[in-house]
Each structure stands twice: as C-alpha cells, then as structure tokens.
Amino acid sequence: MEKCREPVRDLGEVPDALVSEVVKKIERDGELPASGDDRFLARYAGLRSTVLKFPDSSPGSHLRASCTSHWETWRELVEPILVVVGESLGYETFETSKILLSSLLAGSAVPVHVDTNPSSQVPHKVHVPISTHPNVVFTVDGRSRHLCRGRAYEINNLRPHGVENDSDHDRLHLVVELFPVDRNE
C-alpha cells in the first residue's frame, strides 16, 4: 500500500486487549520514562515522548534506525500492535524507522506544521491512540477529527497537521513510522 494521500486514513481496529496492556504498564510504572533524547520534540512544550526507536541519521534518512534502551522494556507490548498495523497496510514484512510513545499534556497543543525532513518522506506515519479524550482534536490539511482509542490511523505528515488537547487529560499515542521491505533482497 502506498503512503497515505488523503489527510487521515483509518487503518482499522487495534484490539483493546493490546492497548489495555500498554495502559496497565504505565499505571504500574507511574508514568512514561523520559527518553533523554527529545531533540526533535523540544520545541513543543506540552509534548513528552519515550523514544523506542529513531533513525540513525535523522533527519537525513529513514533506512537505518536503532532501538533505544527503552525498547526492551516495551517490546513485548508494542510488537503485537506493530503486527496489527503492518497487516492493516497489507505488509507481510516491514521495517520501522521510528517508534515512540507520545504524550500531549492536558491543555497543550502541537502547532500546525509539515514534516519536511527527508526521513519523513517515505514511511507511513501511524498513530495508535492509547489514552485519549473527545476534546483531543487532530487537524490535517484543515480537516479536524478526534482519533479514537482502539484504532490505527495513518497521518499524511506531508500535509499541514497539528493537534490540540483541549481536555483535562493527557493524551497518549503510540506513533510509528514504517515501510515495506522485501526480505528476499
């Protein structure tokens, strides 16, 4: 399946049992661990992320990416969600270039922007809402909508997009960038 051309593509259901396990881990741990590497998010005051995987040469290319020290802690819970997302895109095999747990604090916003760096041009950018509220609104290309828990959404990050959390609850998404690979090459 090619990269999303429309503003947002609903990729379908992510089983609640998978999403709930992520929520339970956060509740047990108390909060998301700080990444220690939020260089690409520092400009957005209300955005906090735990980076699990990130491109080695960002923003230059998506092709080589490394897992952070947090990956092993989250792997067992995140990998089944990645499989669902990959299948929803029709991929038997795929690679991820970016995986992060992204929290937008209550009352915060990420201003409208376009991901112009080369590492964002190819991969599908997928959001899986883990914890959200109806007053969290994602806007892409001037169209606003709430992204519901239990679904996966491909966001066209090459179009103007942003999010506003006009609620009293922090929003948490699993954000993944992935692309197909041919294992026979």
* Number of Cβ within a 10 Å radius of residue 57: 12
- Is 2 a member of any domain? no
- Is 3 a member of any domain? no
- Of 58, 2, 8, nearest to 161 by C-alpha is 8
- Is 185 a member of any domain? no
Give CA–CA dist 67/69, Å, rounded. Answer: 7
38 is in which domain, residue-wise? Answer: 8-180
What is the domain-level CATH number for residue 52? 2.60.120.10
pTM of the model: 0.91
- Is 113 a member of any domain? yes
Tell me if 179 sits within 8 A of 94, measured CB to CB.
yes
- Of 71, 96, 83, nearest to 18 by C-alpha is 83
- Is 20 a member of any domain? yes
pLDDT band at 67 (very low <50, low <70, confident <90, very high): very high
Does the pLDDT value for residue 176 go beyond 70? yes
- What torsion do the CA atoms of 26, 27, 28, 34 make, to the nearest 10 degrees? 40
- Is 37 a member of any domain? yes
Q: What is the pLDDT of residue 20?
A: 96
Does the pLDDT value for residue 100 go beyond 90? yes
Domain count, the chain: 1
Per-residue pLDDT tens over the stretch 106-136: 999 999 999 887 777 788 999 999 999 999 9
- Is 154 a member of any domain? yes
- Is 149 a member of any domain? yes
